[in-house]
Chains A and B, each alone.
Chain A
């Protein structure tokens, strides 16, 4: 106890001293440079010494971030291959001889669950969250490094359990990623035995692991920001990840209990979700449960989940657009409140996934209204992105291309969301390919554009080398044009009335007209999938022969680019933590020599500029 106390007072003394010496050194009477002293002692870090403690069971958030990133990407590639197999069946029925309806539904289910939870969520929060939060807020590491390590390894076990379900009798569950009971645990659905149990176990592990990571992100952001880093000076990336984590902490418990209750229904024959059921002439031993209860639990998780993916993407893309337009993000405060507002509202819209589920139809009025209200802050964000481009000085590099691709796909998918959120418009469109097209555009392709932009943007920080631009441009255009030509026409399949989750279309007259389109979509899907390997090739090539990036290669302002060494080492900041004097968006300030002023630049160094107070 006493050691800690001494340590703390010692640290405070040191920091106030450094302020004093700073002002003497620059020779300016700089009250304006004053930053409150630190309130907490610096964190003691565990430095790994062996290969295992440095790279495997590592406690450095940056390594954990990369681990999350790699494992999520690996799982994502499996999801991609599954989507190829599905598209093969839909575009060219019977072309893959082994493909039965059972397989098809198993692939649909695993593709969906992998992409939403094990790829996007893990990548944004586990990957970018771990790597960027401590760097961006000026901390040495996450506040609970050990817990952070356990978080990753829980995720690892969750993925292992999920993939193990491919090898159990009956195979993985084929109940659709929404896992709706009663069919999820009854015969007639593939993988209704071990498959669904392993899925539930894997989800429970994921939620447990995520909770450990999530607590870390929240407390690091709230408690471990460096001096001067007020909440309203944080990069929007951090705001996005922060809000998404709050949502996740509140939403995942619903998924957890849903999974637990379903396992009880399956294993102990409880009847949470199971009414009286007649199967093959026999009345089963269930009775009195409600299938709709599961849907409420699932979507109470499932809708915020959309924003758990979207909000970090919003934050990241704001920063990328700002840096590469050489212009401050337009309406920062509005952006922050929009993120927080969208996050809060996202808990009041879940039943818009259930307009035709058989719940009390009067709920439709409430949920349609809340859903369309969410369109307002979301639209504000879009306006602010394009207004950031206005009168900017836009570098049309690969990073910016991904951002522009994001704007197009996100606005497109957002608008189709207004169709589906508006309850009576949803009636003809729900459960059709319109829905599939909508959510792939808005929460598949759009966040993927951001992920890719972020990879090209931060790779020079992580690896110290630039990714190849030419390969990057091929990667972008193939992905963007390909993905757009998959999902844009797919909406029209929904207009025809083609239902989703159909293994085969047969020859209904209005479906046969779509054969050509299905072939086209499948072909585009093969190309887009293959194009992703350009990135992998680019990364391997760059690690060997890429152009060295050096310090702050994009002339950005935020702290992650200002570490003493590139790539940053464990502890991030060397001897002294950075001190923050401004927001991260002081680009092209009138009167400044350069077109950027880093967050650590004290006001006395840029006296003649017309910086607005932030």
Chain B
């Protein structure tokens, strides 16, 4: 078979694969449809260029393959053609870049009414924190983290006391309400990624990073870690449950706040002390008895 024909079949196969592929986007469940649209646009323009260039190549190969008595054209340059091609390419690039930048501008401008979610990552797991009634998250520090204070909230920060703590790798979100994901990590890089939401950002130890989206489809989604974080990377999964407002409000009212936790810890401690005291008393009694 003539090589040109095989190359042609490769191009044709690529186009057909793209049209009939069963592997494509998961159904979008957030506001970032614009990203999908830009991808589609890039497919049209970029794919068009790919097909055009390759078909031109195939044509040349078929038409101008070696013949002993033919001489190739001698034409070192064609300024006009080169100019046209440069400008046409520039135009295509601008057509792709412009919508890309517009959407990026939306991506970095978080709506004011977004719910802030503190996503804390470590090797290898997630947990979440939401602002309490005061609507503000308390500040945190890695060095504060211990069993009594799993999120490392600064104890002297009044905003931290009513923070809602979700010590689970699944978080619930309210449908059709923008969410600002605040990412932090206590050890290495991670990335909180839900394919259906299209958006992602690395969690970087030492700083807080963010991104936002607005879930718009009720359902359960899987969270994947998208930045390599060591040997457990592939297993670092979590979950999101997008709920209607009623379900979400019900869920949130059942969650524990930081002050709840402190109170619980204190109660526990008190009980422990009582037990210890009691034990000592009994122990002492025993000792006295023996004497």
Contact = CB atoms under 8 A, between A and B. Distances in A.
Interface string A342-354: 0000000000000
A422 B54 CA distance: 23
B270 interface: no
B42 interface: yes
Contact of A424 (B38, B93, B145, B203): B38
A465 interface: no
B240 interface: no
A503 interface: yes
B71 A496 contact: no
Nearest to A587: B72
B230 interface: yes
B64 A392 contact: yes
B64 A430 contact: no
B153 to A, nearest CB: 14
Nearest to B195: A497
A614 B61 CA distance: 28
A23 interface: no
A321 B97 CA distance: 32
Contacts of A401: 3
B78 to A, nearest CB: 7
B202 A176 contact: no
Contacts of B195: 428, 496-497, 510
Interface in B96-154: 96-97, 100-101, 103-105, 107-108, 122-123, 142-143, 145-146
B188 interface: yes
A92 interface: no
Given A275-B206, A419-B42, A499 B72 contact: no
B39 interface: yes
Contacts of B76: 328, 330-332, 585, 612, 614
Given A408-B7, A595-B71, A418 B96 contact: yes
A431 B199 CA distance: 11
A365 interface: yes
Contacts of B183: 358
B233 A502 contact: yes
Contacts of B200: 356, 427-428, 430-431
Interface string A241-285: 000000000000000000000000000000000011111010100
Contact of B230 (A183, A356, A412): A183
B202 A393 contact: no
A488 interface: yes
B49 interface: yes
Size bin of chain A's contact surface: 35 or more
Given A277-B187, A375-B93, A499-B226, A393 B71 contact: yes
Contact of B78 (A183, A331, A408): A331
Nearest to A419: B42
Given A376-B90, A492-B24, A389 B57 contact: yes
A183 B46 CA distance: 37
Given A372-B93, A508-B222, A514-B23, A186 B188 contact: yes
Interface stretch (A219-227, A378-386, A449-457): A378-386
B228 interface: yes
A470 interface: no
A603 interface: no
A488 B23 CA distance: 12
A495 interface: yes
A551 B225 CA distance: 59
B186 A408 contact: no
Interface stretch (B14-22, B158-166, B169-177, B271-279): B14-22
Contacts of A102: 231
A425 interface: yes
A365 B96 CA distance: 13
Interface in B218-269: 222, 224-235, 237
Most buried by B among A408, A493, A504: A408
A186 B60 CA distance: 55
Identify which of A358, A392, A429, A501 gathers the most chain B CB atoms within 10 Å of its CB.
A358
Interface in B54-84: 54, 56-57, 60-61, 64-67, 70-78, 81-82
Contact of A291 (B32, B46, B189, B222): B189
A527 interface: no
A354 to B, nearest CB: 9
A506 B122 CA distance: 21
A495 B35 CA distance: 12
A373 B93 contact: yes
Given A283-B142, A361-B108, A390-B64, A588 B71 contact: yes
B195 to A, nearest CB: 3
A587 B75 CA distance: 10
A517 interface: yes
A334 B75 CA distance: 14
Given A183-B228, A275-B205, A396-B61, A372 B96 contact: yes
A477 B7 CA distance: 10
Contacts of B10: 408, 481, 484
Nearest to A275: B206
Contacts of B283: none
Given A386-B56, A425-B35, A427-B107, A188 B25 contact: no
B168 interface: no
Nearest to B27: A510
Contacts of B105: 365
Contacts of A325: 64, 72
Contact of A333 (B77, B96, B107, B193): B77
A105 interface: yes
Q: Which of A102, A332, A492, A499 has the most CB of B within 10 A?
A: A499
Contacts of B54: 407-408, 411
B287 interface: no
A145 B229 CA distance: 45
Given A427-B107, A496-B23, A394 B60 contact: yes
A176 B228 contact: yes
B189 A499 contact: no
B74 A590 contact: yes
B209 interface: yes
A590 B73 CA distance: 8
A127 interface: no
B72 A503 contact: no
B73 A588 contact: yes
A358 B142 contact: no
12 contacts: A101-B231, A102-B231, A188-B232, A275-B206, A332-B77, A358-B183, A380-B85, A383-B85, A394-B60, A396-B66, A415-B42, A496-B24
Interface of A: 101-102, 105, 174-176, 180, 182-183, 186, 188-190, 275-279, 281, 283, 288-292, 325-328, 330-334, 356-358, 361-362, 364-365, 368-369, 372-373, 375-376, 379-380, 382-383, 386-387, 389-396, 401, 404, 407-408, 411-412, 415-416, 418-419, 422-425, 427-432, 477, 481, 484, 488-489, 492-493, 495-497, 499, 501-506, 508, 510, 513-514, 517, 585, 587-590, 595, 610, 612, 614
Closest 10 CB pairs of A and B: A497-B195, A275-B206, A422-B100, A389-B60, A183-B188, A358-B209, A415-B46, A391-B73, A188-B230, A424-B103
Given A101-B232, A394-B60, A492-B23, 19 more contacts: A101-B231, A188-B231, A276-B142, A292-B207, A328-B74, A331-B77, A356-B201, A373-B93, A379-B89, A394-B64, A395-B65, A404-B61, A415-B46, A418-B42, A423-B101, A503-B233, A504-B235, A595-B71, A614-B76
